[in-house]
Structure formats: C-alpha cells, structure tokens
C-alpha cells in the first residue's frame, strides 16, 4: 500500500447514481430507456434511439468476457500503483455492451476469458470490480 487514499466515484450524480445504488445492493445495473428499452451505456439523460428522457436502472447478470485490455506500467497517480491492467468487459447478457474495469498487476489474459463482477466496499462506497472466472 502507498498510504494514498483511494479515489472514489461520485455516487450521487444524476446520470450515474443508479449504478452505484445498485452496486451497494450487490447488483450490476445498467440504464435502460423506458421508451424503447435501449441500453443507455455509457449512462446518459436521454435515449439516442428514440429521444425519450425517461429511463430506469435495471440489474444485469454480472458476468462477461474480456474484450480487450492494456497494462499500465507507469503510475500516473499514487492512488493507482503500477502495474495494473485496464480491462474492457463485454457483458454476457448484452453483446456489444462493454464496461471498463481494473485488475491489479499483469494477469495472464486472453480475449474471451470469462470474468465475473464482485463488489468492493471502500470506506462505505461500493465499487464494482472484475475477477477472472474459471472457464
Ligand atoms: Zn429509447
């Protein structure tokens, strides 16, 4: 540990707060349009498919596969000691919907490797994380 506090997300943002409310319940949730059911990810206030401003947060199965990744070898902030891996996860339930994640170190990865979300409590803020699942 570096002693540097973790950087935590703003959890009461009007556009993303529902994501963290769901995480606090141990659920991975995405925003969906009430007008046409489109997935609104990255979360946004309105639907680009039908123009509706009405949406909801809906739990999704917290599993996916590694779509891509990049190993960060040089620390850019003391709260993120290098090396670490930035992960792009494609959700099993929603092909084409991808979430960014983090794995410590330089794990051995392959495209398509199964991953599962888990929920880390950092000083009362719950942050979804990913770990490799057994294939
Ligand atoms: Zn819509």
User: How remote is the CA of residue 70 from the centroid of ligand 1, in Å?
Assistant: 33
Residue 45 contacts residue 53 (beta carbons within 8 Å): yes
Instruction: Say how many domains are in the chain.
Output: 2
For residue 135, name the pLDDT band (cuts at 50, 70, 90): low
Q: Residue 32 C-alpha to ligand 1 middle, in angstroms?
A: 8
Q: How far is the CA of 41 from the centre of ligand 1 (A)?
A: 12
Residues 46 and 86 in one domain: no
Name the residue with tokens 């529902």: 18
User: What DSSP letter does each residue of 85-100 carry, written as one string?
Assistant: EEEEEEESSSTT-EEE
State which residues form the domain around 74: 61-135
Q: Determine the distance separating the centroid of ligand 1 and the alpha carbon of 31, expressed in angstroms.
A: 11
What CA–CA distance (Å, rounded) separates 85 from 19? Answer: 22
Whether residue 26 is contained in a domain is answered as yes
Give all strands (DSSP E) within 1-93, no chain letters: 28-33, 55-60, 63-72, 84-91
63-99 pLDDT per residue, tens: 999 999 999 999 999 988 999 999 999 999 999 999 9
Residue 2: predicted pLDDT: 52
CA distances from 80 to 7, 76, 84, 124 (A): 9, 7, 8, 19
Distance (Å) from CA 25 to ligand 1 centroid: 26
Asked if residue 93 and residue 83 are part of one domain, the reply reads: yes
Indicate whether 53 and 98 sit together in one domain: no
Residue 49 and residue 69 in one domain: no
- 111 and 74 both lie in a single domain: yes
CA of 49 from ligand 1 middle (Å) equals 5
Q: Which spans in the chain are helix H?
A: 17-24
Nearest to 59 by CA among 118, 18, 9: 18
CA 55–ligand 1 middle distance (angstroms): 8
What pLDDT was estimated at residue 5? Answer: 86
For residues 85 and 114, membership in a common domain is answered with yes
In this prediction the pTM is: 0.90
- 44 Cα: distance to centroid of ligand 1 (angstroms): 11
Q: Is residue 2 in a domain?
A: no
- Residues 14, 66 within the same domain: no
Give the distance (Å) from ligand 1 centre to CA of residue 36: 4
Residue 1 falls inside a structural domain: no
- CA of 114 relative to ligand 1 center, distance in Å: 30
How far apart, in whole angstroms, are the C-alpha atoms of residue 62 and residue 114?
A: 11
Q: What is the pLDDT of residues 30-57, one digit of tens each?
A: 999 999 999 999 998 899 999 999 999 9
């Amino acid at each position: 540990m570096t002693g540097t506090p973790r950087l935590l997300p703003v959890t009461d943002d009007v556009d993303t707060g529902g994501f963290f409310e769901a995480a606090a319940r141990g659920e991975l949730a995405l925003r969906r349009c009430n007008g046409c059911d489109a997935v609104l990810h990255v979360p946004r206030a309105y639907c680009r498919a039908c123009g509706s401003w009405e949406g909801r947060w809906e739990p999704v199965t917290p599993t996916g596969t590694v779509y891509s990744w990049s190993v960060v070898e040089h620390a850019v902030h003391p709260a993120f000691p290098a090396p670490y891996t930035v992960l792009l996860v494609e959700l099993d339930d929603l092909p084409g919907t991808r979430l960014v994640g983090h794995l410590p170190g330089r794990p051995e990865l392959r495209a398509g490797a199964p991953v599962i979300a888990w929920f880390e409590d950092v000083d009362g803020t719950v942050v979804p994380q990913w770990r490799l699942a057994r294939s």
